[in-house]
């Protein structure tokens, strides 16, 4: 069992029932989620240990989030509860062809966005860590969090702890130009970069004409050990193809491609990252890529932001390449 530390914001997700538009909604399904937390919870599902570093309001809503975090097997970082701010909310409209999924944020003034870089004691937080992970969403929340991430990554590298970064560009949080200015120095010289072809092209202008070119150029651009890219085909809003590719020092490879029927696609990229980190902690890049693709393919069938698939389910899917008989 390896120990992974992740850093970011957790939010309350409210989804109108029966694929209703937000303006129609009379009731909502509620879930707790957030990119770095989703990765931590996925790693716990795969048998590793994870701690999620964040800030939560010291009120019943913050305690609801904490209960969900702990229930998923994730350790909550030190001094998580604060007296200021709120828990951010996002609303997810589930689409169906030709209407796409749509996210509406209500996160201004969240507890984490009001935090200061000095609030996080990274030398102590990372004392027994085997891996550190963050995404491009957190630095979009403000300059103090950019400094906090920079401090965390410097501490991790100083201790010889591998660092992974998911680009996770969110156009509703900042422009591509703003993102590039902030993220480019943060993403240099890391162990693992995860992204989509679209985000690498939109933010950094990296050629996305094909997955191999994209991942190879990204690896060179950021001097990363490994670049992993998710590959999604979207014939319809509710039936996709899904897999990934990766480029390391020993070359380029693709994963198996799965047909997925979508119950909930949110968090699939985070599940891919969790599977890849787990695989790299256990073996080589090929193992990591197949773990990532299978774990995240299963995520599409699970409501909420977090993938609660077991290691046995992932290994069975890798061996079979598709759904098997009913398990009785």
Question: pLDDT (tens digit, 9 = 90+) per residue, 235-288?
Answer: 888 899 999 999 999 999 999 999 999 999 999 999 999 999 999 999 899 999
Q: How far apart are CA 180 and CA 206, in angstroms?
A: 12
Confidence of residue 159 (pLDDT cuts 50, 70, 90): very high
Lowest mean pLDDT among 66-80, 88-102, 282-296, 300-314: 88-102
Confidence of residue 188 (pLDDT cuts 50, 70, 90): very high
Q: How far apart are CA 317 and CA 328, in angstroms?
A: 17
* Count of beta carbons in the 10 Å neighbourhood of residue 28: 16
Domains of the chain: 3-320 (3.40.1190.20)
Question: pLDDT (tens digit, 9 = 90+) per residue, 199-235?
Answer: 999 999 999 999 999 999 999 999 999 999 999 998 8
Q: How far apart are CA 259 and CA 23, in angstroms?
A: 32
Within the chain, where are the H helices? 35-45, 60-71, 122-125, 143-158, 176-186, 197-204, 211-222, 268-282, 285-299, 311-320
Q: Quote the pLDDT of residue 323.
A: 64
Q: Quote the pLDDT of residue 55.
A: 98
Nearest Cα to 276, choosing from 263, 267, 285, 265?
285
Question: pLDDT (tens digit, 9 = 90+) per residue, 16-60?
Answer: 999 899 999 999 999 999 999 999 999 999 999 999 999 999 999
Strand pairing class (131-135; 28-33): unpaired
Q: Quote the pLDDT of residue 172.
A: 95
Question: pLDDT (tens digit, 9 = 90+) per residue, 95-105?
Answer: 888 888 899 99
Q: Quote the pLDDT of residue 170.
A: 97
Q: Quote the pLDDT of residue 107.
A: 97
Confidence of residue 325 (pLDDT cuts 50, 70, 90): very low
Determine the average pLDDT of the residues in 84-108. Answer: 93
Q: Known catalytic residue: 305?
A: no
| Residue of 225, 264, 270, 305 with catalytic role | 270
Dihedral pair phi/psi, residue 195, rounded to 5°: -165, -175
pLDDT at position 328 over 70: no
């Amino acid at each position: 069992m390896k120990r992974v530390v992740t850093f970011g914001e957790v939010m309350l997700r409210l989804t109108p029932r029966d694929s209703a538009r937000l303006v129609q909604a009379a009731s909502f399904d509620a879930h707790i989620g957030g990119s770095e937390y989703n990765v931590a919870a996925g790693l716990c599902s795969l048998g590793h240990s994870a701690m999620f570093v964040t800030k939560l309001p010291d009120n019943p809503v913050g305690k609801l989030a904490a209960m969900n975090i702990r229930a998923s097997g994730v350790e909550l970082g030190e001094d998580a509860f604060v007296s200021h701010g709120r828990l951010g909310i996002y609303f997810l409209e589930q689409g169906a062809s030709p209407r796409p999924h749509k996210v509406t944020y209500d996160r201004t003034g969240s507890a984490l966005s009001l935090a200061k870089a000095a609030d996080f004691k990274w030398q102590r937080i990372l004392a027994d860590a085997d891996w550190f992970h963050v995404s491009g969403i957190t630095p979009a929340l403000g300059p103090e969090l950019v400094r906090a991430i920079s401090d965390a990554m410097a501490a991790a590298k100083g201790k010889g702890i591998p660092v992974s970064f998911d680009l996770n560009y969110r156009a509703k949080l900042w422009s591509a130009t703003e993102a590039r200015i902030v993220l480019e120095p943060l993403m240099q010289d890391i162990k693992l970069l995860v992204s989509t072809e679209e985000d690498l092209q939109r933010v950094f202008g990296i050629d996305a004409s094909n997955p191999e070119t994209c991942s190879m150029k990204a690896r060179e651009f950021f001097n990363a050990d490994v670049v992993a890219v998710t590959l999604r085909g979207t014939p319809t809003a509710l039936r996709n193809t899904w897999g990934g590719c990766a480029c390391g020092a020993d070359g380029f490879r693709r994963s198996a491609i799965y047909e997925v029927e979508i119950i909930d696609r949110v968090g699939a990229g985070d599940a891919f990252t969790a599977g890849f980190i787990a695989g790299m902690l256990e073996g080589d890049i090929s193992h990591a890529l197949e773990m990532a693709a299978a774990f995240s393919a299963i995520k599409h069938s699970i409501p909420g932001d977090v993938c609660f698939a077991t290691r046995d389910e992932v290994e069975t899917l890798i061996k079979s390449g598709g759904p098997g008989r009913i398990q009785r």
